[in-house]
Structure 1
Amino acid sequence: MTPISKLTVWIVILNWNGLEDTVQCLYSLSCLETGFMVHILVLDNGSDLDPRPILEAQFPLVELERFKCNRGFAGGCNEGIKRAVTAGADYVLLLNNDTLADPHFLDPLVHYCLAHPRAAAVAPLICYVQVPERIWFAGATINLALGHFKHRQLNGLKSRSGQSPIQSHYVTGCCMLIPVTALQALGPLDARLFAYFEDVDFCLRARRAGFDTVCIPESTVWHKESASTRRNSSEGSTSALKHYLNIRNRTTVVIEHASLPKLACYLFIALPIRIGYFLAFFALCRQWVKMVWFMRGVVHGLQGHFENRVAQCSTE
């Protein structure tokens, strides 16, 4: 059995046209205080400009790799997971580059996993960078019949969250610690999804296999508002790509995990209502491109259609 002080955690961070965020994230990790061995891997997901010269100069101990094209969140994370497992890691921490970590955030997550061998995915309490005491994630609930996946205590106060572990229907891939033993039992993220809902899918698979997914309020990370799929304000706050991926992957997850009655409720009640709402919204705002991409996502989700070219790109 590996001594506790020799346990290794690989922190996997994806960068895609977010160098400033990645630098700030790495600076926060440079203050990390932990009793475990830590290896940080930054994978660049085909950014327009190669960030390696800047990152190598500022963070010489961080391992860097660059993909020739964007593999998506799931595909990029899976490459990091593969490398971590091959190197003999005990845990893999998936961490968004637009986060800032508390110096003491890691150990409570690992200690929980050590005490609970059936833990498959463990997350900290996640608050907003802009409002540090406001909660962004403190566990989550899933309603497959409605296709709802909601964060608990959203915008609540950190001071009222308590310190006891929170059993969660899923934990967010924004910051998720996964024991390698769980990865060996469950497999990696579903790379077909590209981005969004891959964390939900992983946690649903874990819970179906008898594992736990838990939020640990004793641990804290701060999250910025995501910019990777946003557009400028004149075009609306959410890109056509995000609308496409959101509805396609939402539908895919429901189809793959819902019981027959819940699936029927989603397909014949919840999904038509969602379609009607968004079509009316896009028409009112005259956002025709987004309307087309949204409906394409609906069709592809129902068909189980995925573009896999992004998974075929190599590293430089």
Structure 2
Amino acid sequence: MSETSTRLLQRQILPLDKDNGVFPLYVDLEEAKLDADRYDVGSNKGAKDLNLAAIRQSTSTGRSLHPDQILSRTTVRVNPNQTFSFGTYFNAFPASYWRRWTIVDEVQLKVTVEGAGATVTVHKSMARGHSQRVESAAVESDGEVTFTFDLTLKPFVDGGWYWYDVTAGDAGARVISAEWTAEVPAERAEHGTTDICITTMNRPDFCAKLIGQLADDEALRPYLDTVFVMEQGTQPVTESEFFPAGAEALGEKLQVIVQANLGGSGGYARGQLESVRKGTATYALMMDDDVVCEPEGVIRAVTFGDLAKRPTIVGGHMFNIYSRSRLHSFGEIVQPYRFWWQTRLDGYSDWDFAARNLRSARWLHKRADVDFNGWFMCLIPRQVLEEIGLSLPLFIKWDDSEFGLRAKQAGFPTVSFPGAAVWHVPWSDKNDGIDWQAYFHQRNRFVAALLHSPYERGGRMVRESFNHQIKHLASLQYSVVEMRHKALEDLLAGPERLHEELGTKLPEINAFRKQFVDAQLHVDRDELPPVRRLKPPKKGKSDTEIPSSLAIKIGALTAPLRQLRPVRELSRSYPEAELTAMDSGWVNLVKYDSVVVSMNDGSAVALYQRDPQRYRDLLKRTIEMHRRLHREWPELAKRYRAALDDVVSPEAWSKTFGIADD
């Protein structure tokens, strides 16, 4: 028999701060109230709609851990006769992920408790969410007691978790620690190390605090090789008042690299390049600068990667930094026919663990297999970077998803791993579909599709792009249409200019946008004229009532034609309405000749004005462009695929960064 060694996979942790918004992610006081099985609900649309609404409803009673009960990073006090469940995001054991992707087939759980009369009960769940009691043990006397449970991973092929509950006796109890371990081959006993690659631009305090979080965690320190900070802004992280403490703690492990603003892809690619050139770390971990990190998640990601069957990209999840118990997404895919990223089809986004706990949410128990993981937190083995290359030079958008698809085609899977996470601003709070980022959304999505779409001519890509152009035209968003049009022109020019234009495209786009009224933001609403209209709403109805599905279909057919009508003269001097961001969908925007629209982040407003002449010109060019794109797709895909290896090579990136290639 080959020699083995005991390896720590996961330990019980409690929050680093005493923000009660995160407590449900660590310890749960609520009961489990499992929602209905979708196979029991059936295919009736009404029944499915009711069930989907029920799944979203809160089952929480409001019971909560008191901050004083947290005694240390690993120890919590349980009050007399109180029950704590550790079947939570950070403390349940994601058995199905270990079963599917790693060499581990058995684990051992050790729970150390104190308090006569306390009981420890181990549970497991299956992929359909049903839980089963596995084993229990009781504390019979005072003093610390460690219970050991040997657990197999065989039943978890499709999903499921292990967790433990602790119920205190009459005198209360303390849960001192818990550890999940496994016997692994001796050559896998030592943990790997990771470089952390942080791209930052004008978020000095946020970034400096993140460096401090990484530096201050003693458990994490042995796993860190180098923390690379790619400084691309005009407000350097080194000038933050929070920087010196983290820099001193990290010492030589911290490297701040100053370079031009090359976007997220340029920043991450620099970190990837430095990591590969240095060659001392097992992994390179991409991390955003504006996150709050759970350092234990980095340790877990490294551990999972160490024990994976093959080199595996290990991603973390993203929680909402403003509502910290809310999970943005549990796993993302690229829908192949539309070629658009989305939450997996049987999952949910914006899930609030404080409202409905893990044990009550059936869908969370099925293993979520993904195509990629966002680079807000994503651990990439150095071997993968060496074999498939670095990020594409896309500035922002689609660099992480394209890399995941490229890795998958090369045989390197991505796992979005439960228990590894950061808190970040959710995408829903941003305006990146209609500001300068619209250019990069459009161009980079098509670049990725040309490289990886399994369908001839990208499936629905060209048709959907055309439909979106019409929608933006009908919504009076002419700057967006022009940017998306420019994106397709640059796409058709081929992959050869991606590196060349990486540092110049954003200034070019920003200068281009200035000519459009709808792209000019006003922080003060009073900079724009007041609302005036000749005709009041028909029968006093609200302009923002939610339309029926029939009304939406009719609107989609008639809206493009309405844009050809002459504009109402008064609308040139006064907006006809004001719309909040939540009401500014195309179904409302198409009603007006001019309208003031709020931005999603609540920081400013813009004036949209209908222009029939511009509409005709843009519509004509949009038709011509999409016909050309459809016609040239096959040859264009060949060009991009042939150029890929060179474009993502360390040599190409070294030239872009202006550094010598060793």
Q: TM-score range by the shorter chain?
A: 0.7 to 0.9
Residues in 2 aligned to 1:219 and 1:185: alpha-carbon distance in whole angstroms: 25
Structure 1 letter corresponding to 2:413 = D
User: Where do 1:177-256 residues align within 5 Å?
Assistant: 177-191=379-393, 193-225=394-426, 240-256=435-451
Distance 1:144 1:237, change over 3 A: closer
Deviation of 1:185 after TM superposition, in Å, equals 1.6
Residues in 1 aligned to 2:276 and 2:366: alpha-carbon distance in whole angstroms: 30
Deviation of 1:209 after TM superposition, in Å, equals 1.3
Distance 1:262 1:171, change over 3 A: farther
| Secondary structure in structure 1 of the residue aligned to 2:295 | coil
Say if 1:164 and 1:217, in contact at 8 Å, map to a contact too: no
Residues in 1 aligned to 2:216 and 2:484: alpha-carbon distance in whole angstroms: 42
Distance 1:98 1:214, change over 3 A: same
The aligned residue for residue 73 of structure 1 is 264
| Secondary structure in structure 2 of the residue aligned to 1:194 | coil
Structure 1 letter corresponding to 2:472 = F
| Secondary structure in structure 1 of the residue aligned to 2:372 | coil
| Secondary structure in structure 1 of the residue aligned to 2:286 | strand
TM-score between the two structures when normalised by the length of structure 2: 0.42
| Secondary structure in structure 2 of the residue aligned to 1:199 | helix
**More displaced stretch, 298-307 vs 70-79:** 298-307
| Secondary structure in structure 2 of the residue aligned to 1:13 | strand
Deviation of 1:3 after TM superposition, in Å, equals 7.0
Gaps of 5+ in 1: 231-235
CA-to-aligned-CA distance 1:167-195 (integer Å, 9 cap, x gap): 2111111110001111112111112x111
The aligned residue for residue 275 of structure 1 is 469
Say if 1:99 and 1:223, in contact at 8 Å, map to a contact too: yes
Structure 2 letter corresponding to 1:112 = F
Say if 2:204 and 2:236, in contact at 8 Å, map to a contact too: no
Say if 1:140 and 1:171, in contact at 8 Å, map to a contact too: yes
Structure 2 letter corresponding to 1:298 = L
**More displaced stretch, 29-38 vs 129-138:** 29-38
Structure 2 letter corresponding to 1:218 = G
Relative contact order: is structure 1 or structure 2 higher (C-alpha 8 Å, sep ≥ 6)? Answer: 1
- Residue in structure 1 matching 2:198, options 5, 8, 13: 13
The aligned residue for residue 233 of structure 1 is none
CA-to-aligned-CA distance 1:218-245 (integer Å, 9 cap, x gap): 2221112479xx6xxxxx6656320000
Distance 1:237 1:80, change over 3 A: closer
Say if 1:92 and 1:178, in contact at 8 Å, map to a contact too: yes
Deviation of 1:140 after TM superposition, in Å, equals 0.5
Structure 1 letter corresponding to 2:260 = C
Q: Say how many residue pairs are matched.
A: 302
Please tell me the root mean square deviation across aligned C-alpha atoms, in Å: 2.8
Tell whether 2:375 aligns with 1:173. yes
The aligned residue for residue 237 of structure 2 is 51
| Secondary structure in structure 2 of the residue aligned to 1:240 | coil
Deviation of 1:302 after TM superposition, in Å, equals 4.0
- Residue in structure 2 matching 1:290, options 480, 484, 489: 480
CA-to-aligned-CA distance 1:197-219 (integer Å, 9 cap, x gap): 01111111111112211111122
Residues in 1 aligned to 2:296 and 2:367: alpha-carbon distance in whole angstroms: 16
- Residue in structure 2 matching 1:128, options 317, 320, 333: 320
Say if 1:4 and 1:36, in contact at 8 Å, map to a contact too: no
CA-to-aligned-CA distance 1:95-135 (integer Å, 9 cap, x gap): 00111111311122112212214343211222111111111
Residues in 2 aligned to 1:120 and 1:196: alpha-carbon distance in whole angstroms: 22
Residues in 1 aligned to 2:459 and 2:657: alpha-carbon distance in whole angstroms: 37
Gaps of 5+ in 2: 1-185, 504-652
Say if 2:216 and 2:246, in contact at 8 Å, map to a contact too: no
Deviation of 1:165 after TM superposition, in Å, equals 5.8
Distance 1:226 1:169, change over 3 A: closer
Residues in 1 aligned to 2:191 and 2:351: alpha-carbon distance in whole angstroms: 37
**More displaced stretch, 163-172 vs 204-213:** 163-172
Say if 1:95 and 1:174, in contact at 8 Å, map to a contact too: yes
**More displaced stretch, 2-11 vs 115-124:** 2-11
The aligned residue for residue 22 of structure 1 is 207
Tell whether 2:223 aligns with 1:37. yes
CA-to-aligned-CA distance 1:52-97 (integer Å, 9 cap, x gap): 2436523222523343411221121111112222221111100001
Say if 2:191 and 2:303, in contact at 8 Å, map to a contact too: no
Residues in 1 aligned to 2:658 and 2:234: alpha-carbon distance in whole angstroms: 16
TM-score between the two structures when normalised by the length of structure 1: 0.84
Residues in 1 aligned to 2:209 and 2:449: alpha-carbon distance in whole angstroms: 36
| Secondary structure in structure 2 of the residue aligned to 1:30 | helix
| Secondary structure in structure 1 of the residue aligned to 2:449 | helix
Residues in 1 aligned to 2:434 and 2:459: alpha-carbon distance in whole angstroms: 29
**More displaced stretch, 303-312 vs 256-265:** 303-312
CA-to-aligned-CA distance 1:123-168 (integer Å, 9 cap, x gap): 1222111111111132102113213211343101344375786321
Say if 1:113 and 1:119, in contact at 8 Å, map to a contact too: yes
